[in-house]
Structure 1
């Protein structure tokens, strides 16, 4: 079964739902996003009964997870969801894996008076329940704390207005140690026995040390060959600590300079958000949603054969912070697409509702990634015409 909700349902996911014969929980949001997709909609009674009987469920968005928790028919699934949704709880659950990692759970009202002296700089502060880098701040010096807290106060109303409390809850924050190293995003599901199966690995590229944006993710043959085994071992250990089973998650990690894998967060009952998980199909030719529901394991040796030097990228067309999106006159989508030598798909986004104007998927050679990274180092204001 699928839970479909805002912000986005791709055409590929719609096609997948139909081809797999999966039912969709009937909600106003799912109906609006489905259009004429012809889904098999089921009501909450049927959904709860089938979930209670052990049927698998997958979401495209954390907005819809309240239905799983509210029905009360799968307490263990609700437990797994809560571990991921609450970033502080996730840190607490995997703490034995990383005994030297420092973090604090802090109520919003306590941020102003918080004693941050135990935290070594740089450190990070973010909502305990958050998404899409919303409300995330890097503190490079203790003297910046008052300014950061003031910024969080200003952002709180915006965060709560654009996403429901189940997705972004700015009432509680986690203050945690900064992690140097390269960042990766791992789509993985855990089978009935809790065995981890990775369906994709993406590198999260940052344009500077202070960058916290989600502008560029990419996967490549080199990434898969280098990290499939160590990440498989690591997410298996995470799964044992969290007791994950019959569960899909999108786990973000950083690899330090000495090779330690440190988790950032785990996102529940879904792969990469905004249907970015579709990049797996573009990159490797198989369907990650099908893998989860059918219990399929990708044959990576066969998949990667003959794919040397291939990279598949996902780029988010974001706005310069503070842009008044109500006064945007037009977007130069053609100019945005010119960034890519082989565009696979452009997804135009309702930028009045969300702070992005497009998602782009493209194919390139690993050798050409340097050129693309350089182009993405400049903000996208050149593609935005204001009134």
Structure 2
């Protein structure tokens, strides 16, 4: 296609998971889009203006380019070509959990963290009895995240973490998932949440969605269930806005999307876990506000729109909407239809390539009973092995 210099919005798509809501938005708004690999052919009939790689690189080099990507595979493309040093530096800091912790040290001076090389893991001596979290400094999908409180537990956690990461090494670029360095940090006791937001043209944060990340117990770090609803957003919105204001003081950003995860401790303080740049929640998590509140996060970001949360929450029916991942735990070939039948009301259901990823589907159930949502963190996924 002919590259138009006046275009300043662009999407970068990887075929790991492509949201139907996102594709419809790109078509509606006619956003120039670079589709990686075989995805370009799949999108040929979707009325989306498709870019060649050199055209995407040229747009980035022009500057004043607003970018949304659906995966972090594009980090090398962005950092090598984007004519916006501030955003490039932000991407590098956010993608490295150790640098991220260092940046926020002013706000969390008592929070313990340390980075170690994989090759130096044998000499690390944890303080026995102190609950710590092990995670790859560059990671995704909670792969390699473990908890330990003794030297023996640390050694076992390292073995398990490296094994998990190695299993999915070919599915993700080293800029997304890598076992060379690990971050060790304090475990924060309290509920875990995630948020999709962006910084507008003035550098002010715009919150598009807040989700509670449910777990089976304190040793569970899997991505299985996220849910949202009126109560979830009402309770967390003030804390989220306060943190994003602090973040904007440390690193000035404009027209920049993020997905960040945090915990709320027993004192009611928000402790950030990580910030993921240039995208919203992965594998379709970002679609949750669309099904729950009618907020299309992709359109809101690309069009620089801001949700009126007072009005939206006032009109909410109070039901919970969830994002549930079918995990490949004890599963060789999943019986996707059998798993789908476990849900009541569904807003959407998307099968995934289970041979490539550690999940076989994403589901978006709705219920007025939170227990109907939470039951999936206790599911034995091995019972959904196909007998065919």
TM-score range, shorter chain: over 0.9
2:5 is aligned to none
Runs of 5+ unmatched residues, structure 2: 1-9
2 CA distance for matches of 1:108 and 1:310?
45
Shift of 1:26: 4.9
How do residues 219-368 of structure 1 correspond to structure 2 at under 5 angstroms? 219-320=228-329, 323=330, 325=332, 328=333, 331-365=334-368, 368=369
How do residues 57-76 of structure 1 correspond to structure 2 at under 5 angstroms? 57-76=67-86
1:124/1:362 CA distance change after superposition, 3 Å:
same
Q: Contact 2:63–2:82 at 8 Å: present in 1 too?
A: no
Q: 149, 152, 157: which is aligned to 2:158? A: 149
Alignment partner of 1:108 is 2:111: no
1 CA distance for matches of 2:84 and 2:38?
23
How do residues 3-22 of structure 1 correspond to structure 2 at under 5 angstroms? 3-22=12-31
Shift of 1:243: 2.4
2 CA distance for matches of 1:378 and 1:278?
23
Shift of 1:340: 2.3
Shift of 1:156: 4.2
Secondary structure in structure 2 of the residue aligned to 1:82: helix
Name which of structure 1's ranges 205-214 and 335-344 shifts more when overlaid on structure 2. Answer: 335-344
2 CA distance for matches of 1:193 and 1:171?
37
2 CA distance for matches of 1:159 and 1:94?
30
Shift of 1:193: 2.0
2 CA distance for matches of 1:32 and 1:63?
19
Name which of structure 1's ranges 160-169 and 192-201 shifts more when overlaid on structure 2. Answer: 160-169
Secondary structure in structure 1 of the residue aligned to 2:305: coil
1:6/1:88 CA distance change after superposition, 3 Å:
farther
TM-score by length of 2: 0.92
Q: Contact 2:196–2:281 at 8 Å: present in 1 too?
A: yes
After superposition, the C-alpha distances for 1:290-332 in whole angstroms (9 at most, x for unaligned) are 1111111101122122324211111000022xx463xx2xx33
1 CA distance for matches of 2:284 and 2:323?
11
Shift of 1:234: 1.4
2 CA distance for matches of 1:224 and 1:27?
34
Secondary structure in structure 1 of the residue aligned to 2:93: helix
2 CA distance for matches of 1:155 and 1:314?
23
Shift of 1:35: 5.3
Runs of 5+ unmatched residues, structure 1: none
1:157/1:375 CA distance change after superposition, 3 Å:
closer
2 CA distance for matches of 1:375 and 1:75?
43
Secondary structure in structure 2 of the residue aligned to 1:208: coil
2 CA distance for matches of 1:375 and 1:46?
44
Secondary structure in structure 2 of the residue aligned to 1:96: coil
2 CA distance for matches of 1:299 and 1:269?
23
Q: Contact 2:352–2:359 at 8 Å: present in 1 too?
A: yes
1:121 is aligned to 130
Q: Contact 1:190–1:245 at 8 Å: present in 2 too?
A: yes
Q: Contact 1:221–1:310 at 8 Å: present in 2 too?
A: yes
2 CA distance for matches of 1:377 and 1:26?
37
Shift of 1:259: 0.6
Secondary structure in structure 1 of the residue aligned to 2:174: coil
How large is the Cα RMSD of the aligned pairs? Answer: 1.8
Name which of structure 1's ranges 147-156 and 86-95 shifts more when overlaid on structure 2. Answer: 147-156
Q: 148, 155, 165: which is aligned to 2:174? A: 165
Q: Contact 1:8–1:33 at 8 Å: present in 2 too?
A: no
Q: Contact 2:14–2:35 at 8 Å: present in 1 too?
A: no
> How many residues align structurally?
378
